[in-house]
A = this chain, B = another copy of it.
Amino acid sequence: MIQMDTSNARSFLPADFLTSRLDALEGARQKLETGSGLGGDFTGWVHLPRDYDKEEFARIQAAAQRIRQDSQALVVIGIGGSYLGARAVVELVNSPNFNLTHKNGLEIYFAGNGLSTDAMLEVMELIRDKDWSINVISKSGTTTEPAVAFRIFKNLLEEKYGKEEARKRIYATTDAKRGALKGLADAEGYEEFVVPDAIGGRYSVLTAVGLLPIACAGVDIAALMEGARESMEALAVPGASNPAWEYAAARHALYTAGKKIEILVGYEPSFRFFGEWWKQLFGESEGKEGKGLFPASVEFTADLHSMGQYIQEGERLMLETVVRFQKSSGSIAIPHDPDNVDGLNFLAGKDLSFVAEQAMRGTVLAHVDGGVPNMMVTAPGRDAKSVGALIYFCEYVCGLTGYLMEINPFNQPGVEAYKNNMYALLGKPGYEDKKAELEARLGG
């Protein structure tokens, strides 16, 4: 379902970039398959599209239906992997303006993914006169950003509906057995969904973490899982013709050859947050021990008029990966202009998507000529099934390259550093010494 084309990176690669890595890729495949590699306890996503909990899946669909009936808005509280995957899918399948177009069938507001006062006040204002519910997503229940947001929105919900009714409007996606949010959900009787132990945040979009908000947006989550399952089966087959192997080998070879930045290129505004999800997936997986491709994303053709100059002629550190969707949902014919003021009558009657396709093909060659290896991932469309296939493809490639780079693609030890400093500066009990030390460094 997902096709890979590395032909426009070949001039930057040794001829044996793939064949020389077949053994290493087979080793990586086995590690993913059996969970025997570094971080192997977090490879639950590998067989998820086949092994997911069908009973919970049905409850997710039922809960989404209930929320869509009794609510005009859903506040989704989560950060990192508990935020980006759902937003990526909803924007890509529906629209980045999903709350404006009403394509979702209900409004969705993502909260608790930052600490902006004005952004939170805006959500509070936008839901004020609507019926709404909460989906709070946190494995522990103690991560600062979502925990603070949950305190605030839970209070608002209780003010609006009373404690009893509010309980029925809170859906908690959390640890199956332990943690602050699990304890609260049990005590209060929230409907609960599971953040699995064996799947890290950035690989969790196809668990309840992503699926409940995505289903609430009216996206067909059965099709999403079906697409992921097709990818899973296709990519489990070892060998040089496996598109994930080809991409992983090319990425690794280009990195080994000195490229330091991978730019993910989309041609649709609706792809922007898929790019953000992808940046977490690859950046958090690879960016450790002083290694990894720095992940960036652009929206062409818009950014050809901003980042285009740098990509064409700046430092030669980059590779590009274009994600191409074979078809648009609609079509627009370019009108004829009797005066041909802009000189574009040679395009009259042509479809806009034809222009976009030629822009993309021309850009690939321009950037190759400028010294930027180009790779292309093609998905059939932006429907749920294609997007499910694309998600799994990215996850699998990320697992493979992580092992080629000889790092643990499933941990994120560096995320604690800012948290610990923040706790100290906030005056969290137990951090007194660290607070004094940090305040001294900050001259405050």
Contacts and interface: CB of A to CB of B under 8 A. Distances in A.
A308 interface: yes
A126 interface: yes
A184 B339 CA distance: 9
B122 A335 contact: no
Interface string A87-110: 000000001010111000000000
A125 interface: yes
A359 B270 contact: no
Contact of A414 (B122, B309, B354, B424): B309
Contacts of A180: 341-343
A418 to B, nearest CB: 4
B118 A270 contact: yes
Nearest to A261: B294
Given A114-B269, A144-B344, A328-B118, A97 B99 contact: yes
A332 interface: yes
Given A341-B180, A342-B180, A117 B294 contact: no
Task: Tell me what chain A mostly uses at the interface: helix, strand, loop, or mixed.
Answer: helix
Count this chain's copies in the assembly: 2
A117 B284 contact: no
Interface residues of A, number: 135
Interface in A143-169: 144-145, 147-148, 150-152, 155
A424 to B, nearest CB: 7
Nearest to A138: B342
Contacts of A147: 342, 344
A301 B114 contact: yes
Given A314-B287, A358-B425, A369-B417, A99 B101 contact: no
A39 to B, nearest CB: 13
Contact of A366 (B100, B279, B417): B417
Given A97-B99, A283-B314, A346 B260 contact: no
B424 A267 contact: no
B309 A288 contact: yes
A344 B81 contact: no
Interface stretch (A212-220, A229-237, A315-323, A391-399): A315-323
Contact of A418 (B141, B144, B363, B444): B363
A353 interface: yes
A80 interface: yes
